[in-house]
Structures are given as structure tokens and as C-alpha cells.
Structure 1
Amino acid sequence: MRLSLEENRLDLSRIVFIGRTFEEYMAMFGLSEEELKGRTVLDCPGGACAFTARANVLGAEAVSADIAYYFPPLPLEEKGLEDIKHVMNQLEKAQAGFKWDYFSSAEELRAHRSRALEECIADLKRYPDRYVPAVLPVLPFEDGRFDLTLSAHFLFMYGDRLDYDFHLKSLRELLRVTRNELRIYPLVGLSGERYAQMDDLLKQIREEGCTAEEVQVPYEFQKGTGRMLRIIKG
């Protein structure tokens, strides 16, 4: 049973509702459209991303999970527009920390973020069952529910705020609901430095029967983010 917002004590102002386009997802996870067709896919945390909407059109059975989905579409859309504005204002102060090849300008970036939000909200309104409220490190799915799980801009990005135990529990939970493969992007924190305890984490996961490798991908906006983690279950 889904708890009410009051019971969860959620505060929408504390949630960042920013999304990436489908094209960005394909680049950051090194995916092809053929890899999606006929597969069950989880995007967690999904945020305001357009991936689930587009993946389903292409023949995948895609689902997004995120704490934000406890809220209705309208306040999420309003929050997303506010967050885009805030991010763009902050970006002007820190442009040196980003590579401007995927996006040629700040305006192009704004257009991508706005399009992702628009596609996500439209799909959320039309297919609400695709957007499942959840809070890591616990997911409301059965074991092996998804062929492929994608996780972007959460784990490792907040390595200075989320401790090693949280990362390990979340990784195990993402793997629990995954039948075959988990991909995580990026491998660095907000500072651009590789997650400090990555080697310890990978050692633990390998000891539990998985294979793991860091893979170069054709997407690097924040400097240092051009790699993903690919984990195959044994």
C-alpha cells in the first residue's frame, strides 16, 4: 500500500526534479535501440527523465522509480520548471566545470532539460503505472523483475553525503530486482572526483558473484563523467 504524503513526511522543495532526454540516456549508458526492444527495463531514480516514455514506444517494457512520484504531475511539473531555472542560473557561475561538445550552448542545454520534463510529465499523466514511488535502498519490485536496470546521477554523485553502507545496500537492492545487467552513471561526485570507495564496493560485489567493469561512454557534460559502471549478475 502506498503511504500518504503526510505519512512519508515528504517535502517537495527538498527533491530536485531534473531530467535527461532519451538521447542523453542512450549516450550515457552506451545503449542502442536494439538492446531495448522486448526487454524489461528499470530507470531508478527516474526523476524528470524522458527515457521511460520513449523506451516504451520502441518496444521495451520500461518503468521508472523515484521518490518524486509520490507527488501528482502538476506540482512535479512546476517544481521541474523551477529547478531548470535554478540550474541554469547556477551554471553561469560554473561553466568551466563542463565540456561544451554534446551541448553547444547553455540555451541548447535548457532546451534538452525542458523537453525531458515535458515528455516525462505527459507520459506520467497518460501512463501513471509506469512511474512507481520508491525510496532507495528499498524497491517495491520482486526479485529479477527487470532484464536491465539503469541508475543515473544519484549513487556516487553524492558520495560526500551518502555513506558507504547506503551505497552498498542500494547497489544490492538494484541488483536484487535485476535479472541480468545493471548500469550506473556517472562514477564521480559533484566535485568530478571518482567515488572514493569505489574499489571497496566493486570488491564486495564481485565477491557476491557479479562481474563489474568501468566502461567509457560517449557522453561527458560535467568534466570527469565519461564512464559508467556495468555490472553483470553471475
Structure 2
Amino acid sequence: MRANLLILAGTTEATAFANAAADANLTGTVSFAGRVERPTRQPLPQRIGGFGGIEGLSEYLKAEQISHVIDATHPFAAQMSRNAVAACAQAEVPLIALTRAPWTAQSGDNWTHVPDIAGAVAALDQRASRVMLAVGRMHLAEFAPNPQHFYLLRLVDPPKDPPPFPDHNVLVSRGPFTEGDDRALMQEHGIKLVVSKNAGGTGAYAKIAAARALGLPVIMIDRPTLPERREAHSVAQVFDWLRHSGVDLGV
């Protein structure tokens, strides 16, 4: 079978798979939601923007004759992942999620688990502190009810609107970062508390390791619940799945 892949992207795993797919001379399209202004350059054709919900994605799969979907979106891109599962079932296109295992607390970690962004906002309803808020620019406005804190914001792109905090510092930078750099950053800004999504993987883990080294508490936002789906945790596992699906990988 000659494959025509749709790679739902936005992570380092997506880029790694796209590079491997291109090296294997596979045909496919890398799709970005459009939330990042400067997406990582890809070796396969790209599209940017939504599909129009489940129905729109299902129609796209049929119109483009997509043979397989690889969902390598961020673990918190829950709506896209839910839509992908439903659309692939509707269009009868096989899907696999290339995802990272979530972080788990280690000795020395001081985590408070919350189920979602709203839970993190509620957890910050406390006396003024100095907070590293690592939730991405899309959610900053939701933390406006807690203006008493200083917020350190590290973002991939500059915020489109001024952050809704009287006291904050914005750093525009793209990871991966090192534990040493993040430890120094937290010390420089006098950080007392870290708020983070449980993104998993290695690229964003430095701040978690730095918080542990400094004895800082972390408000950890747990991952959203997703529908049952086939998952892989490495590029090699996705290739094994494609091979077993009858895709000609030339080996």
C-alpha cells in the first residue's frame, strides 16, 4: 500500500516523525492549528488552520484520500484529538497517537494536582507570591482573577494582548531548556511557585527539575481525558504500526 499520511502536528515528536517519514519517502501533509506564529519548518507539505470540526476533518480525509492519521498534537490539544478520533472513525481511516508519557512525581517533588486551568486559577487564590506561569499564551487571561502575584511568563511567541497582570515579566524563547538555566532563571526572578501543564517529554521538563532542586512547590495541571485510541511513544512504534497496516516502507 502507498500511504498518504496526515500528521497532526505541534510537538517535537511530530517534527521527528515528519523527518523520518520524509527520509522513508512517504507522502503526507503536516497540519498545524495555527496557534504558533513561527511553526518549525517541516520536510513535508504543510497546512495551517482548523478543519471545521469532526465533519470538516472527515471530509478532508476523504477528499485528500488520506490513508493514515498520526495525531502528534500537544497532550493538551484535547479538542483536536477528540475530533480526530471521531472523524477517523467516520471516514474509516486508521489513527494512531504519537504521544509522550506524562511526568510522574519523584522524590523531592512537591506537586499539587489540579484537573484543569480553572483548577490552577483557583489554587492561585492565595497571598501574593512570585509565580512562574508555564501554561502558554492562550490561557493567560484566565488567570486575571489573581492579580496579586508577580508572574514570570515564558512564551514561544509574544502575547497578542498585554498580559492581564500588573506585575509580570515576559520572556520570548523556544525550548528545549536546561535544568541549570531554569534554576538560574527562577533564582534571578525570586520565583516561589511554578504552575505547569503535565506536558510530558523532555523538552519542557527542565522547569520541573529546577523546581525540585530549589524546593519549590508546583501546581501541576493534569492531562485532559481523551477517547480510547491506539497510542505509540516513539517514531519507531509508529513505523511498526504502518508496516503492520500494509504500508510499503521500502524495507
Query: Per the shorter chain, which TM-score range?
Result: 0.3 to 0.5
Q: Which has the higher strand share?
A: 2
Q: Which has the higher helix share?
A: 1
Query: How does the TM-score come out when normalised to structure 2?
Result: 0.34
Larger Rg: 2
